[in-house]
Amino acid sequence: MFDDSLKKDCVSCQKNCCVKCFPESEAVIFQSLSTDELEYLMQCKQHIIFNPGETIIKQKTSTTHFVCLKQGMAKMVAESSRGKNIILKILPGHSLITAGGVVSDDIRHFTVTAITRVECCFIDSERLHKLLERNSKFAYELLKYNNSQNIQMLESLVGLTQKYMPGRVADTLLYLKNKIYQTNPFECNLNKQELAEMSGMTKESFIRSLKELELSGIVRHNRREIEILNEEDLVMISKNG
């Protein structure tokens, strides 16, 4: 969570937005910019707050902006024309959202929706393009960041296509515990339908698989609170698919 001084500063600042609001280890992309370059990039930024369920960016729309998600939690969704969506990634605070295409075909390839109250900045893509042409260090750091995101989503898709339902549910629970909430037990902000979409299955199948893990003493589930009781067994289920 951000303290009030950082939130207040972001509304009015131009030069230090994103650098000051992100932890040092995650602000390396912006740290590769000079003071003048950072001021140029942030000059036309728009500070916007989204409520839970609101769409931050929409699949197949033009990439006029990239988004700096400063606070809150969102989901990156691949939408199907048949209405069967897959949640590819959960985006916590300190995330950069390009949804693909911001430096390629200028088309959003995913939808991003707020799970909790989300505070973010929309930053002009044209200014980003110009800085990428001028600053090779900045381009390199952004490329590394995007590649890391793409690898994570590829690993997720491989798991969804090659594992049986218990393995997919195990992957989802381990991902939430170790990557998103980083605590055990954790209060899950996602409903059962969203957990099912993360696991590439129907809501009914997810609930049934989760119940089997409960009966085996591997997981405890009470409304939105989830606790992994036997992580070693859950990891084995994940590996065996």
In the chain the domains, ranked by start, together with CATH numbers, are 4-152 (2.60.120.10), 163-240 (1.10.10.10)
Is residue 110 a contact partner of residue 100, using CB atoms and an 8 Å limit?
Answer: yes
* Confidence label for 66 from pLDDT (cuts 50, 70 and 90): confident
For the sheet with 55-57, list strands across it: 55-57, 111-114, 74-78, 86-91
Measure the CA–CA gap between 207 and 193, rounded to whole angstroms: 9
Spacing of C-alpha 129 from chain mean position: 23
pLDDT band, residue 152 (cuts 50/70/90): confident
Name the average pLDDT for the chain.
84
User: Do 190 and 227 form a contact (C-beta atoms < 8 A)?
Assistant: no
- Using the predicted structure, report yes or no on whether residue 22 has a pLDDT greater than 60: yes
pLDDT at 188: 94
Does residue 4 carry a pLDDT above 70? no
- pLDDT above 70 as % of the chain: 85
Omega before 185 cis (within 30°)? yes
Burial of 20 (0-12, 13-18, 19+ CB in 10 A): middle
Phi, psi (degrees; rounded to nearest 5) at 145:
-60, -45
At 7 the pLDDT is 41
What are 156's strand-pairing partners?
none
Q: How does DSSP classify residue 105?
A: T
First vs last Cα of the chain: how many Å apart?
35
Q: pLDDT band at residue 72, thresholds of 50, 70 and 90?
A: very high
In the three-class reduction of DSSP (H, G, I as helix; E, B as strand; rest coil), residue 55 is classed as: strand
Model pLDDT for residues 173-231, shown as the tens digit of each residue: 999 999 999 999 999 999 999 999 999 999 999 999 999 999 999 999 998 899 999 99
* Per-residue pLDDT tens digits for 95-126: 888 766 556 667 788 899 999 999 988 988 88
The DSSP string of 36-53 is HHHHHHHTT-EEEEE-TT
